[in-house]
Structure 1
């Protein structure tokens, strides 16, 4: 046991030195920091000078246009953050109080929070080990064994509740098997809502993540591939969903020169112009950022292959943005040793999220066999992933 610990400690020291060499610094290395190397200051000053710093202004429209041009979606609606985008996306496909939504347990808390904001309840199916995203096999098995069709609506036999949506998440920017999931959702008459918060710049067979379902959600938090400080985006090819998304994210206010008339309960979820200004500048640098991230991932992949450590790669047919690089260690003991050694040395690393079904808020939710998610929870570590561009 002591020999094993010493071997791990030496291996961890080698990894620390390798990562410091990649980033050419002896100082603190964050997990992921934004790259603000373009027109960010220029556009922010322009926004300030215009006095249009809230949710009205040219940069909001421009940022939306840049996103739908890049992703290939027909419509994009900017929101204050990715959670707000996902919340509204769920509302738009008809998720109501008392409904159930199938998702994956291996995800950031925002996925389940957005479901909860609708007063709906998550159901957890397993993930695939290679993609770390929702497993089509687990999804199909659950639906086949536990649901029935009632006048074109998928109903949970055990609870009598409507299965109102399926929400897969593209973990760390690694696309899941979204095409298979899309087909299953069509077969069982369930709307597909993509949590693409982490996958701007990720594709499956040439098609951008977030565009496979009826609607998708992106995030531009400070640690994402590009950032608006805080911010999100709803993307869809459905013009009616897009119109309604813009309406309810702007407090459901009817157009009028001066009267305040609202026709339903809405949300104050529109992205401020000052944040969108930052996003426009970031979009101008996106291709360079993505190139830098793939180069970094390639160097990690080659290094960890020599050390016989599994580096999380994109699956066949997919193209990842490699937002957060991840390695898969032997077990929880090696994982914990790795995390302590690297963080103590000022090289920020973190474990994958606690499984959602193990959090007290969601501990009583229905679940499938989650063996893959449980296996990954014990082993996956994120390592520094900032794009190395000037």
Structure 2
């Protein structure tokens, strides 16, 4: 946060534009233009954007929706808000994103297609949509899921909450499906102190979204409502902060990429540490930089390293619990899950804030390297003493 955010907030307060106003309108236009979509609709959270996207595209109670098992719980919850049921699909080992081949096999082998609807043979429920999460600022295989959605008449919604600015080929993620969704929570690439956004190229969807997030109000004067609506609007306060942050988005992306590059330069040759590889035809924003730890080669389990770094004042985190293991979604469908479980056990996210200076990053790197070296030396010493 800086002077630009303060100036925008002061302007919004002076104009008495708190709920709706010029900043929220401008921020919608900025994000839509940035990602290459015609319309942006601001919401009060990324979760609200996903819930709204599901509703306006026609996901109904009893439907099943394909989604990665390795993500934050919010998009799965949004599916449940609709009365629909998530089907958690394992991730691919090479990119940690929903496995397109596993999803295709599920559709071909576990479902039947009548030319209009895909039906899960086991549950008898229709499979109607894919929520394609772009995890950690890396893109999922958009083209494969576009083809799958087209083949089986599935709605494609993108959850790009962690991937604003990420590109698959020449295009920004979030612009491939019928609706793309973003978050501006405090830890995202740019923040509005909260808030979210959905983008679309379809005017009818944008209009329906604006209607539903404004309590489905049907008359400017009378309190008339023909549908159940939601209090999901983005405030002008969010917009004021978001507009100031948007002006620095290229700087934020560059900082994230530089942080990831420095971690890669320092850690990729360490025994037992691997980092995801950015393909030449993609552009990652590296929302979080992660390392995967092979304990046999590194000398420590990922959680052991997490605890050690925490004792030194360095916060690291594991990946999210795979959602097919979550009690909150017990009974949901699943397609595999072993890869996600391995990643959950072996991956740590390293400090990745754009405010991280090189001195602090060097300290993180040194602590990781030293912890592994010491663990391997201790293991060697113990082996030497074993008769």
User: So what's the TM-score if we normalise by structure 1?
Assistant: 0.88
Provide the residue aligned with 1:306 in structure 2: 269
Asked whether the equivalents of residues 288 and 389 of structure 1 are also in contact (C-alpha less than 8 Å), the reply is no
Residue 360 in 1 paired to residue 327 in 2? Answer: yes
2:79 match: 115
Q: Which position in structure 2 is the counterpart of 1:219?
A: 183
Deviation at 1:371, TM superposition (A): 2.0
3-state SS of 1:367 partner? strand
1:51 is aligned to 2:16: yes
Residue 306 (structure 2) pairs with residue 343 (structure 1): no
Q: Secondary structure at the match of 1:108?
A: coil
Could you tell me how far apart the structure 1 residues matched to 2:270 and 2:113 are?
50
* In 1: Cα distance, 2:3 partner to 2:99 partner: 39
Runs of 4+ in 1 over 6 A off after TM superposition: none
> How far apart are the structure 2 equivalents of 1:125 and 1:306?
32
- Distance in 2 between residues matched to 1:313 and 1:43, nearest whole Å: 39
Contact 2:216–2:226 under 8 Å retained in 1: yes
Aligned residues of 1:148 and 1:155 also touching (Cα < 8 A): yes
- Answer whether contact 2:256 2:354 (CA < 8 A) is retained: yes
**Deviation at 1:250?**
0.9
CA–CA distance in structure 2, aligned partners of residues 357 and 363 of structure 1: 7
Change (3 A) 1:295 1:38: farther
> How far off its partner does 1:97 sit?
0.9
Write the deviation string for residues 34-91 of structure 1: whole angstroms up to 9, x where unpaired.
Answer: xx2451000011111111111x111110000100111001111000000000001111
Alpha-carbon distance in structure 2 between the residues aligned to 1:229 and 1:260: 31
The residue that corresponds to 1:129 in the other structure is 93
**Partners in 2 of 1:345 and 1:217 — Cα distance?**
37
Deviations 1:203-251 (A, max 9, x none): 0001111111111110000000000111110011111111111111111
Aligned 8 A contact 1:38 1:285 in 2:
no
SS at match of 1:148: strand
* Gapped regions of structure 2 (runs ≥ 5): 358-387
Q: Distance in 2 between matches of 1:316 and 1:114?
A: 33
**1:260 aligned residue (223, 236, 241):** 223
2:301 to 295, 312, 334: 334
Give the one of 80, 84, 98 matched to 2:48: 84
**1:78/1:231 contact within 8 Å kept:** yes
2:342 counterpart residue number: 375
Distance in 2 of aligned mates of 1:306 and 1:150: 52
Q: Name the Cα RMSD after superposition.
A: 1.5
Deviation at 1:146, TM superposition (A): 0.9
Whether the 8 Å contact between 1:131 and 1:315 is mirrored in structure 2 is no
| Maintained 8 Å contact 1:175/1:314 | no
Q: Mark the runs of 5 or more structure 1 residues left unpaired by the alignment.
A: 1-35
- Residues 281-303 of structure 1: per-residue CA shift (max 9 Å, x gap): 00001011111111111111111
Q: 1:162 aligns with which of 123, 126, 129?
A: 126
TM-score, with length taken from structure 2 = 0.88
Deviates more, 1:366-375 or 1:67-76: 366-375
Contact 2:324/2:337, CA 8 A, preserved across alignment: no
Instruction: State which drifts further: 221-230 or 120-129.
Output: 120-129
- Counterpart among 232, 237, 250 of residue 269 in structure 1: 232
1:360 deviates by 1.1
**1:157: how far off?**
1.1
Higher relative contact order (CA 8 A, sep 6+): 1
Name the CA distance, whole Å, in 1 between partners of 2:31 and 2:282: 20
Q: Give the 3-state SS of the residue equivalent to 1:306 in structure 2.
A: coil
